[in-house]
Structure 1
């Protein structure tokens, strides 16, 4: 049959769209086994586990103490003094002091506590091959938890118990505690998972398996730890760091710049999107395939919140006139963000709701904001030999990863909001595009194994990876 004849134009029903065939089961068995190393193997992941924290300290020092400029030894004789100065900054301004432990731990366990007690929307996930195609239920209450957190933070700030400006003021100390948490939880989850016999897809190399993770769906009661950590920790901290920067500006100047307000809006859009569309997350690669190891835990606990908002850190330490724009430039900046966010939000929604429609688990959830074209009526798709369906409608008719493209454009605006004042806030977009390209390659490789010739037919129909008619 030709590629076009494989397309089905009809409503997704609770048919066997997610019930794998015998061929599909054999392919899933292969995908649930370790076949080759990624990320450069054991040596590569060890280098990243050591290198990422060092890079975070270096970039923070450049922002905090060197006017946002990259610094380096000027000669061989300067190497040792340079390293001593770097260490002195870390030792004095980024020590894991008692205050940082209290703040980060309080936030961490408060998020875990309200995740347990707040009511939530119950969403059924995809069938998990390693669990015999059992589906797991996910309690989606991130949105209500977000607003409880915002209200609590407002009360603490107004009452003077915990001024939000203290988040930025203690940035280095909090970052160190976050890094310690990420290492402790990563290694702890590895040992717990192995002790309970819940490990899957293991390589046999200790450091590599800690990095990639041992367990797929670790839980404490009703809380899925992987989804909880992905939504509640990084993006909440990111948002409150932006708010902290805005509070600092207001206290110092009596106003908040459009640039800082932009970051408050951008981070709120992201954290709110994670909450109001949380029922879509169980349908994603992160929940369905990625294990909960250092790779994910480190970036959720420390990497994302303490590297993605470098523009906020810069603005909190510099005069607003150093990054002031013209009115047309501000309009263009905000318009780019909102356009990219709309495509990101609706493309994610289209894909996840299509999977839910196919599985027969889709229900309309009232959450703000809901955008037009978030759900595709009568979608086209390829019915695969595996048993799954590959969407070819909506944004997904133009590119295989339209959400990645829109997400990256958002990341770029987080650097553009300070213009050329410093290159360090562009770390997010530079790092992120490399992550997305690598992740895209991993995903496409997995899909080629999972779907075989059906994937080739899909690629003939949806030709472009990221940008329609370009790439």
Structure 2
């Protein structure tokens, strides 16, 4: 590795572990306290907690019952009939029935059981300021869990115990159950954490603290619930929704369209990336700093799985003639996805493995597929007065968030796969870019406080946030 303090100099050894200095610890103490409201404060988070589930219902109804087009009342007189029609679809086609409870609860229980019993790769996390810089160990067995789940699903499908087509056919019902889980776990974890006296970084406002969360690293045995929910629930559901859509097409038409096959590939790539690179997740902001509240819980349990694959919902309910492309267009679409995925995969790996190197970890897990340039040899970095090191090598020499850019391009292709047939599948990419820009603002503000002049120096070297030469 080489450090940059005005000019680069080579180091023959990794040097001391990436631990904060006395000055850095003082800054961490300030950052680990609530000092201001985010997301518009209590009023803003209340609006999101009410509004987002309503939006999910609305977009699903438009996809399934209104030819994928956005519908709305054109006059005051039409408002009441419009709302009654929306409610009728929720009541009749998205009721949280017993079947949906069995399916969703069964998946949750099975994934938790697998996480508890299957062997995995033990990975040390980053030092956590609120735990006195203690590091936690994570049992990274997502790959074993995911492929065991796939094998189980295949057996259930072919033995007709549980046909995979039933997932997409019961989309609305399962989505409602997922929402109920999101709310119940969010409020339940808040009360449990407060009762146990383990809350951190609290504002004192009830609804805001439920939204942001009270606990940082809740666990059941060896399972870190926050990491488990991030990997095992949303992306598993996304993948199986795509597979369900493909099965439904095959049963209806005798073939699977290139568009639906694209979504099966895209969701598998993302799920597999999370599973095979699970040891990198403990090094992320989500694990290190973000609390486990409604914002994260609801999004993992309901938001991600039931808003990111609207293209699958559209294709499963519409004739393939509505979204057919030419062969060159298909080739370009697939190449765009694979290119974006490779940059996403390797940039995430580079940053996470750099953080591991800074902790003195030099042996890395190998899982399929291992893409070239996932680990940087002799990376350049800025040594900060805080004690941390800021990477300026690999993809990270070109932009401060190259992984976000590649991730967003993937999300955009998930909408492009239906072309102009419906605007709703583009919701993912539109929402996602809003989230990424907001998240970057939070992250960069925190880094500016944490690193001071060193952050200014870093920004002078890595000038662009997302796209080199543009932004």
TM-score tier by shorter-chain length is: over 0.9
> Is 1:469–2:463 an aligned residue pair?
no
Which secondary structure does the structure 2 equivalent of 1:138 belong to?
strand
Once residues 416 and 387 of structure 1 are traced to their aligned partners in structure 2, the CA distance between those partners, rounded to angstroms, is 44
Alignment correspondent of 1:456: 456
- Indicate if the aligned counterparts of 1:211 and 1:295 stay in contact, CA closer than 8 A: yes
Once residues 277 and 359 of structure 2 are traced to their aligned partners in structure 1, the CA distance between those partners, rounded to angstroms, is 18
- Indicate if the aligned counterparts of 1:11 and 1:377 stay in contact, CA closer than 8 A: no
Alignment correspondent of 2:336: 336
Alignment correspondent of 1:249: 249
Aligned-pair distance for 1:364?
Answer: 2.1
Which secondary structure does the structure 1 equivalent of 2:390 belong to?
strand
Greater Cα offset, 430-439 or 15-24: 15-24
Alignment correspondent of 1:387: 387
Alignment correspondent of 2:356: 356
Correspondence list, 1:412-423, <5 A: 412-423=412-423
Aligned-pair distance for 1:9?
Answer: 3.8
Gaps of 5+ in 2: none
Q: Aligned pair count?
A: 469
Alignment correspondent of 1:221: 221
User: Normalised by the size of structure 2, how large is the TM-score?
Assistant: 0.98
State the Cα deviation string for residues 256-297 of structure 1 (Å, max 9, x = none): 000000000000000000000000000000000100000000
Correspondence list, 1:256-271, <5 A: 256-271=256-271
- Indicate if the aligned counterparts of 2:5 and 2:383 stay in contact, CA closer than 8 A: no
Which secondary structure does the structure 2 equivalent of 1:429 belong to?
helix
State the Cα deviation string for residues 22-62 of structure 1 (Å, max 9, x = none): 11000000000001000000000000000000000000000
- Indicate if the aligned counterparts of 1:216 and 1:290 stay in contact, CA closer than 8 A: yes
- Indicate if the aligned counterparts of 1:17 and 1:387 stay in contact, CA closer than 8 A: no
RMSD across aligned C-alpha pairs, in angstroms? Answer: 1.1
> Is 1:409–2:445 an aligned residue pair?
no
Alignment correspondent of 2:161: 161
- Indicate if the aligned counterparts of 1:11 and 1:378 stay in contact, CA closer than 8 A: no
Aligned-pair distance for 1:12?
Answer: 6.4
- Indicate if the aligned counterparts of 1:216 and 1:291 stay in contact, CA closer than 8 A: yes
Aligned-pair distance for 1:113?
Answer: 0.3
State the Cα deviation string for residues 55-93 of structure 1 (Å, max 9, x = none): 000000000100000000121011001100000000000
Which secondary structure does the structure 1 equivalent of 2:464 belong to?
coil
> Is 1:139–2:139 an aligned residue pair?
yes
Correspondence list, 1:368-383, <5 A: 368-383=368-383
Alignment correspondent of 1:5: 6
Which secondary structure does the structure 2 equivalent of 1:390 belong to?
strand
Alignment correspondent of 2:79: 79
Once residues 406 and 457 of structure 2 are traced to their aligned partners in structure 1, the CA distance between those partners, rounded to angstroms, is 25
Alignment correspondent of 1:172: 172
Once residues 322 and 146 of structure 1 are traced to their aligned partners in structure 2, the CA distance between those partners, rounded to angstroms, is 33
Once residues 440 and 421 of structure 2 are traced to their aligned partners in structure 1, the CA distance between those partners, rounded to angstroms, is 32
- CA 1:79–1:213 in 2, change beyond 3 Å: closer, same or farther? same
Alignment correspondent of 2:69: 69
Once residues 250 and 174 of structure 2 are traced to their aligned partners in structure 1, the CA distance between those partners, rounded to angstroms, is 22
Aligned-pair distance for 1:17?
Answer: 4.1
State the Cα deviation string for residues 355-406 of structure 1 (Å, max 9, x = none): 0011012422121000100000000000000000000000000000000000
Which secondary structure does the structure 2 equivalent of 1:16 belong to?
coil
State the Cα deviation string for residues 335-359 of structure 1 (Å, max 9, x = none): 0000000000000000000000110
Once residues 441 and 32 of structure 2 are traced to their aligned partners in structure 1, the CA distance between those partners, rounded to angstroms, is 18
- Indicate if the aligned counterparts of 2:96 and 2:174 stay in contact, CA closer than 8 A: yes
- Indicate if the aligned counterparts of 2:4 and 2:383 stay in contact, CA closer than 8 A: no
Aligned-pair distance for 1:10?
Answer: 3.8
Aligned-pair distance for 1:18?
Answer: 1.7
Gaps of 5+ in 1: none
User: Normalised by the size of structure 1, how large is the TM-score?
Assistant: 0.98
